[in-house]
Structure 1
Amino acid sequence: MDKIFFLFSFFSFFLVINAQNFKCKSAHIGKFQIDNGEYGITVIERNSKIQTETNTKMGYKARYDVTWIDDCHYELKNRKVIQGKILEGSTPDDVLRAEILKVINNKVFLKLSSNFSDEIMECEMVKIK
């Protein structure tokens, strides 16, 4: 009986992990937005290799290379500012890391970190296309 319970538990866990990975894949490509409150809305357009972020209120647009670590983790590197100012203290070696915590309908919940700050933050991104 214990073996049957163990196998059932293992397969249930496996199915939950695979279901989440499938949901993570739904956030790989598309057009998204994040409402940054006082800083306005940032529109994110991402294909399999490039992410472009535009914030009209701040007059800022930048492009990043996207590297997928696995289905639910990715890094943004090699920022190229297309419009606006480069943030003071930023360097070409900056790496932003994102973990997709969950996907519910068109909402993607992220945990963000970087190699230039100890701060870890969570945010909600909405898929609009």
Structure 2
Amino acid sequence: MLNKVYFSALLFLSLTLNAQTSPCKAAHIGKFQVDSGESGITVIERNKKTQTEINEKMGYKARYDIVWIDDCHYELRNRTVIKGKSWEGSSPTDILKAEILKVVNGKVFLRLGSNFSDEVMECEMIKIKS
């Protein structure tokens, strides 16, 4: 009898945890902005398949394919520069890697890396439109 109660409780807990939506999902689609100080504000528009980045101060606009690894990890691939110049030394085959650390009150905290550098940085992105 005790085994049935334990099993039922475990099953209920498992179903409850699986039914919860990952907080990272709030950062999957929408319009965001990142304030990079001297570089200005970059506006990021993201749908299910692409991410477009616009920085008016730098006269730059680019589009990436977005590949979701899981709910909290994604990669930006196949960069296409629409306006402005590519960054010096960069390549369209560069892969930017992002981990969503947490989402709090419309702020998305990220850890960023790439396939072309060992440097890892953290930044904050603000959701401005769903």
Give the percent of matched residue pairs that are identical in Structure 1 and Structure 2. 69
User: Which ranges of structure 2 fall in alignment gaps of 5 or more residues?
Assistant: 1-5
Structure 1 outlier segments of 4+, above 3 Å:
none
TM, length-normalised to structure 2: 0.84
- The amino acid of 1:103's aligned partner reads V
1:11-67 C-alpha deviation (Å, 9 max, x unpaired): 6xx94x986x62100100000000000100000000000000000000000000000
**What is the root-mean-square deviation of aligned Cα atoms in Å?**
2.0
Following superposition, the deviation at residue 114 of structure 1 comes to 0.2
User: Number of residue pairs matched?
Assistant: 119
Give the Cα separation in 1 of the matches to 2:107 and 2:91: 31
Following superposition, the deviation at residue 90 of structure 1 comes to 0.9
Following superposition, the deviation at residue 92 of structure 1 comes to 2.1
TM, length-normalised to structure 1: 0.85
Residues 25-36 of structure 1: pairs in structure 2 closer than 5 A: 25-36=25-36
The structure with the larger Rg is 2
Give the Cα separation in 2 of the matches to 1:75 and 1:57: 25
